[in-house]
């Protein structure tokens, strides 16, 4: 993955979306940009809502030959035939998820700003590790600094994802040292998500 000329886009859904209109909007983005993976990342923990959302976008993703993973819910990933899971608790449940979903599933781990968690997640069998946020005042105000990505890209073989507060400026700065940018609200909150995404992609070069 790291031998790409530039990082790849890891698309994240909005925390809530209209099941009747979002799939068409998603299809426009998937057809208009090269997307490596799609993550269903809803704010709700309601299994019925998550199931209906997954059903609404699974075919859109797979028609575009894009893998679909879900936040946290290993059981739902398995039940709904999704491609994997994105864990939000660092390295803690990576081994469990790998055991439950098997060797071919995608298992990723968000590790905040912790190099230690990232290394443990990689050792536990994670396919990628994500660090963030990279700008803004999200969460507790702590940011994943450039030197973390720089060190990781030079020392660790597990692909790394930058996420949280992705801007044109941060894309330009982090492109030499990350494999993926996870991009979600940064585009969905704008009038033309595809145009916004393309402006971020342009900043990679």
Strand partners, 108: 86, 128
**What 3-state DSSP class applies to 71?**
strand
What was the pLDDT predicted at 100?
97
pTM above 0.85, yes or no: yes
pLDDT on residue 141: 79
User: Of 82, 66, 71, 16, nearest to 39 (Cα)?
Assistant: 71
Pair 156, 149: CB distance under 8 Å: no
Flag residues of the chain having pLDDT under 70. Answer: 1-4, 137-140
Q: What pLDDT does 1 receive?
A: 34
Q: How crowded is residue 43: how many other Cβ atoms within 10 Å of its Cβ? A: 10
pLDDT in the model for residue 198: 97
- pLDDT at residue number 3: 44
pLDDT at 176: 97
Domains of the chain: 8-202 (3.20.20.70)
Contact between 40 and 69 under an 8 Å Cβ cutoff? The reply is yes
- Residue 140: the pLDDT is 66
């Amino acid at each position: 993955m790291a031998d790409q000329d530039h990082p790849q886009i890891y698309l994240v859904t909005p925390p809530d979306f209209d099941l009747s209109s979002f799939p068409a909007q998603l299809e426009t983005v998937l057809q208009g940009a090269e997307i490596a993976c799609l993550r269903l990342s809803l704010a709700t923990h309601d299994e019925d809502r998550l199931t209906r959302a997954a059903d609404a976008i699974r075919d859109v993703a797979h028609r575009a030959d894009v893998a679909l993973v879900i936040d946290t819910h290993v059981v739902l990933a398995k039940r709904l035939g999704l491609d994997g899971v994105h864990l939000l608790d660092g390295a803690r449940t990576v081994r469990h998820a790998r055991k439950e979903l098997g060797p071919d599933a995608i298992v990723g781990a968000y590790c905040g700003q912790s190099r230690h968690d990232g290394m443990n997640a990689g050792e536990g069998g994670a396919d990628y590790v994500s660090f963030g946020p990279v700008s803004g005042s999200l969460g507790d105000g702590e940011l994943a600094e450039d030197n973390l990505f720089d060190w990781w890209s030079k020392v660790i073989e597990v692909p790394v994802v930058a996420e949280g507060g992705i801007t044109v400026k941060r894309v330009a700065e982090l492109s030499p040292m990350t494999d993926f940018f996870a991009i979600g609200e940064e585009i969905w909150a704008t009038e033309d998500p595809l145009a916004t995404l393309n402006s971020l992609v342009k900043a990679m070069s």
